[in-house]
Amino acid sequence: MDEATRQSVIGSLCRQYPWLQVRPIGKSILGRELPALYIPTLPGTPSFHRPLLLTGAFHGMEWITASLLLRFTQTLCTMRQEGKYPFCRGCTVIPCVNPDGVEIQIHGSDAAGNLCAFVEKISGGDTLHWQANARGVDLNHNFDAKWHRLKKMEQEAGITRPAMTRFGGRAPESEPESRALAWFCRKNPFAMAVALHSQGEEIYYDFGHITPKHSLLLAESMAQVSGYRVASPTGLASYGGFKDWFLLHFRRPAFTIEVGKGENPLPVRDFFPIYDKVEAMLFTLLAAEE
């Protein structure tokens, strides 16, 4: 799902559900907005539950996760409009953390604007496997969660400069996209956070000894309704991610869900089978006690 389609879907949701709250949390390097959509609980619902945060499309090739989150947003909005919203917590959705990377992956280096030549150079003219933002930084390696350990691992692996994937930047939150998301989390007391990625049908829930005790129980509950596997990331995926940062700084549950199976970008024909499992997992978290 490219930017034009996302904007069209969000605009349609706003017209259909005027109570849906939409506001940008910041902008990408190339000036594309990062909208957050908030679905409140029904009037009269106890408000002591903090909202759930859902995020997607950290990586260019994983744009299907933005489509999944917008579909889920529509589902929640329909339930609320019909007075059937069964949850005591609201939900904030940031469907696309990396809009520049998604545009580059879908439309090629021309989508990088004044960074077109830079993207063309580091991609070799082939952006099919582009994951990073427009500056060649992997946003899910750019958060302050043992980032210096990650940087040492990158250097040992020969990753020392901007690239299509896996380069974590020159410093934590060096990129406007990761900085905006971190700022937004600091300003809002979310109960839990989820980052949708693809692929593998796995659920990551931990970050060492600081992991909340009930995080494993929640992960296992999601696995039960989806058939996904509870796992732990390895290698360069072990540090510097958004899930890791949220756990480390707020000591509240956070999850990376690797949706679907196959090769990125996952084919559109897989959308609805993937969505059914994602919906079941996210409903599980919305219904969970803090």
Burial tier of 270 (Cβ tally within 10 Å: 0-12, 13-18, 19+): middle
User: Could you tell me which of 268, 264, 215 has the C-alpha nearest to residue 244?
Assistant: 215
Do the Cβ atoms of 13 and 74 come closer than 8 Å? yes
Q: Specify the pTM.
A: 0.98
What pLDDT sits at residue 236? 84
82-85, Cβ contacts within 8 angstroms, sequence gap of 24 or more: 83/42, 85/41, 85/42, 85/45
Sequential pLDDT tens for the chain (290 residues): 999 999 999 999 999 999 999 999 999 999 999 999 999 999 998 877 999 999 999 999 999 999 999 999 999 999 999 999 999 999 999 999 999 999 999 999 999 999 999 999 999 999 999 999 999 999 999 999 999 999 999 999 999 999 999 999 999 999 999 999 999 999 999 999 999 999 999 999 999 999 999 999 999 999 999 999 999 998 888 899 999 999 999 999 999 999 999 999 999 999 999 999 999 999 999 999 87
What pLDDT sits at residue 188? 97
What pLDDT sits at residue 110? 97
DSSP symbols for 97-138? S-HHHHHHHHH-GGGGGGGHHHHHHHHTT--TT--S-TTS--
Distance CA 65, CA 275 (A): 9
What pLDDT sits at residue 92? 98
Question: Would you state the structure tokens that stand for residue 92, as one six-digit string?
Answer: 């904030």
Cα within 13 Å of Cα(206), Cβ side:
12
CA-based angle 216:221:224, to the nearest 5? 125
Report the run of H or E that residue 180 belongs to, with start and end: helix 176-187
